Chains A and B, each alone.
Chain A
């Protein structure tokens, strides 16, 4: 329970409606963790790697809900790839959010090491269940302190 409370949930989706729905669903499901919402892959990378405008954020345990399809050069798959390629951050649990169950996309996410994928619209019960499962079975790691460069 303590680890769950410390867990910070990062929701990344370019669709503000989706972000809001996820936020409401989580709250309704009884999840009271700190929640950060971002609307681009670039911002998500800055946040996770504590760079750019997020260079001075406090370090905490993260659970990332990541939309697969986002505009721009850094989409969800790219964010996933970059995090999984980093030895210090590859164990951050990531739930991929998709709008289709297209096998190609799902396969690509699993190949890159995502833990769970969920199809939107997200069913609150299934969602909370998945989050709880991840919290229970995946040890949340602390990202080591880094000397972030001030913007």
Chain B
């Protein structure tokens, strides 16, 4: 059965056709044969019964007058009936009165006693036997017995079989031919469909269509298939367009990124040129003033001139130089910060599975002195592991924790909580403090470069959070802050879980 299931549709149809036609013909042939045999038997029984009645009638005088010869003559007339192989007339006591045996039958077959003296009829093996009473029922004169063989019936059955086989052969040939044509009508659309489906899958060609040849279920199927292809083609086209656009945008974005990086690099580089002069010539000026002061040491000047020169050389010029120097130093720090930020965005990450607890412990260890100095309490709950670059993620933790430490509310016991939870496809970590908080107006600029909101509390260039944001976003994560000024701040950031950060590695 499973073999049949695996056959091609063409073969299935052929097999079905053959079986159906064959079965029909065999059934019809068998029914005809059975009916033929049945009707032959009935006809035979009826005819022989009539024959026996006629013999009984015509041999009655012979029995009455005990004329055996007349009875034998009557029986001899049975030659005209080739089906009868043997006939006999018996006296009521079972004695042989007269017999007839067909010329081709060897030796008169023995007739059993009951059949000689009792009416009976029936088929027995290849024969039909029949006994009839002669004379009235109460006082019988004798019995006539007939036996016919069924050679003719066998011949007739063989004829039936022959005819059936001939018809079967002819029908099968004819139906085979018809089936071939029909098969083509049924199988071809299906085969077409298969070819089309293959083309679509193998070549990813969604422009091909199957041809509908009929309006039957197959035609509907082909139509539905084509509609499906239309839909797929449309989606494919859309998808390709979207993909193209996406690739274009990605390219544009990375080009812009490169532009920004190049810009930051060039700007900071070019800004350094003039800065070097400012720093260098400030020092030169300082040296010149020192030399001048030394030279004037032994010189004699008018007291008011000396006082003025001394004022200039010892106070005014050094004061101006201090301002220049402080500004150039600040300028240099800003440029360095910019360069560092641009480097963070460029540095290649080595993404691995990170034990965040270990990373946090190391971070807290390096910040130990600062934390101890504030007397702040640090509460750590277990952190789930994440995928990321160890150095960069360490930098994030270090920045956030040291921010919390630096911006604690003076006069209030510092309390810093660090924790993390698994959420959906990512892990969210948080650093929560009860520090000074972030002014409402500053929240929008929180992650921008050079933004400082509490310059009175701590030194810095204002690139810490900008760096942290770059790092988290390069990992495919997000960072945000919740804060109430005067009450505290919570920074949240997400990092990819194990096995989810291939896109962070670029």
Contact = CB atoms under 8 A, between A and B. Distances in A.
B266 to A, nearest CB: 9
Contacts of B279: 121
The dominant DSSP class at the B interface is helix
Contacts of A17: 276-277, 280-281
B118 interface: no
B273 A100 contact: no
A108 interface: no
Contacts of B272: 99-100, 120
A120 B339 contact: no
A21 B339 contact: no
Interface in A83-124: 99-100, 102, 120-122
Given A69-B269, A100-B269, A18 B277 contact: yes
B255 to A, nearest CB: 19
A21 B269 CA distance: 18
B277 A15 contact: yes
Given A24-B284, A120-B272, A102 B339 contact: yes
B268 interface: yes
B265 interface: yes
B339 A100 contact: yes
A77 B339 CA distance: 21
Interface string A116-138: 00001110000000000000000
Contacts of A18: 273, 276-277, 280
Contact of B265 (A24, A102, A121, A122): A102
Contact of A21 (B265, B268, B277): B277
A36 B4 CA distance: 99
A141 to B, nearest CB: 31
Nearest to A120: B276
B274 to A, nearest CB: 8
A121 B283 CA distance: 11
A99 B278 CA distance: 13
B290 to A, nearest CB: 13
A121 B280 contact: yes
A24 B279 CA distance: 14
B287 to A, nearest CB: 8
Contacts of B284: 21, 24
Nearest to B266: A69
A69 B276 CA distance: 14
Contacts of A24: 284
Contacts of B269: 69, 99-100, 102
Interface string B310-343: 0000000000000000000000000000010001
A99 to B, nearest CB: 4
Contacts of B276: 15, 17-18, 21, 99, 120-121
A99 B339 contact: no
Given A21-B280, A102-B265, A121-B279, A15 B339 contact: no
Nearest to A101: B339
Given A21-B284, A102-B339, A15 B268 contact: no
Nearest to B277: A17
Contacts of B275: 99
A106 B280 CA distance: 22
Most chain A CB within 10 A, of B265, B275, B277, B284, is at B277
B279 to A, nearest CB: 5
Contacts of B268: 100
Contacts of A121: 276, 279-280
A98 to B, nearest CB: 9
Nearest to B346: A104
Interface string A9-20: 000000101100
Nearest to B272: A99
Contacts of A122: 280
B281 A21 contact: yes
A58 B348 CA distance: 50
Most chain A CB within 10 A, of B279, B280, B281, is at B280
Nearest to A100: B269
A99 B268 CA distance: 9
Contacts of B280: 17-18, 21, 121-122
B394 to A, nearest CB: 20
Given A17-B277, A121-B280, A122-B280, 12 more contacts: A15-B277, A18-B276, A18-B277, A18-B280, A21-B277, A69-B273, A99-B276, A100-B268, A100-B272, A102-B269, A102-B343, A121-B279
Q: Please give me the 10 A-B residue pairs with the lowest Cβ-Cβ distance, nearest first.
A: A99-B272, A17-B277, A21-B280, A120-B276, A121-B276, A121-B279, A121-B280, A15-B273, A100-B269, A99-B269
24 contacts: A15-B273, A15-B277, A17-B277, A17-B280, A17-B281, A18-B273, A18-B276, A18-B277, A18-B280, A21-B276, A21-B277, A21-B280, A69-B269, A99-B272, A99-B273, A99-B275, A100-B268, A100-B269, A100-B272, A102-B269, A102-B339, A120-B272, A121-B279, A122-B280
